[in-house]
Structure 1
Amino acid sequence: MYVTEYPKGDVDKEIDKLNKKLSRSFSKDATQVIRKLQKANCDALGIGRHLIAFYPNTWKEKDKNEYLRNVKFKTNVDVEIVQVGIAE
């Protein structure tokens, strides 16, 4: 990730703090996206395709219309700021 603006201070001195804060924020956002996809029964991540390809016997046992709603996801986004500067 590139931080182009941080008005509160020096990015280099606070980079670890920013990495952790952004990781928590993006993980929370990812969890909300997954919940919305599940509520809409939208398999945008291709979970069904993965099951069909690698676990065909498990796929045969699943309710094709409801399988996604029962999947438990644990989202974790790990942010590492690799460059700081001003956007041109």
Structure 2
Amino acid sequence: MEQLRAELSNALQKQAAQVAGKIKAARCDALGIGRRVRVSHPKLWKDSDWRDSEWKSVYPKIRITTEFQIDFVSSGILN
């Protein structure tokens, strides 16, 4: 089970990295990072050059990291 867990985690990490790279290259904030910064840190957002067109140049440079925790609830036999 541990080997399967590690393999699944690695596969998901690779897929997540590919997706993150594609959305950053497209300058598409599909994860809502800009919105979170704007809501959580309004002064930072207001005082920075991240607004509107500037955010589009900042966004591709940010680092996106992912972490997966795989837990098997039960296992069964397939017929």
Q: Give the TM-score range, shorter chain.
A: 0.7 to 0.9
| Deviation beyond 3 Å, 4+ runs, structure 1 | none
More moved, 36-45 vs 68-77: 68-77
Larger Rg: 1
| TM-score, normalised by the number of residues in structure 2 | 0.80
Aligned match of 1:68 = 59
Unaligned runs of at least 5 residues, structure 2 = none
Point out the structure with the larger helix share: 2
Provide structure 1 residue ranges, at least 5 long, that are not aligned to the other structure.
1-14
Give secondary structure in 2 for the equivalent of 1:81: coil
Q: Identify, as 1 or 2, the structure richer in strand.
A: 1
TM-score by length of 1: 0.73
Higher relative contact order (CA 8 A, sep 6+): 1
Greater CA drift, 16-25 or 65-74: 65-74
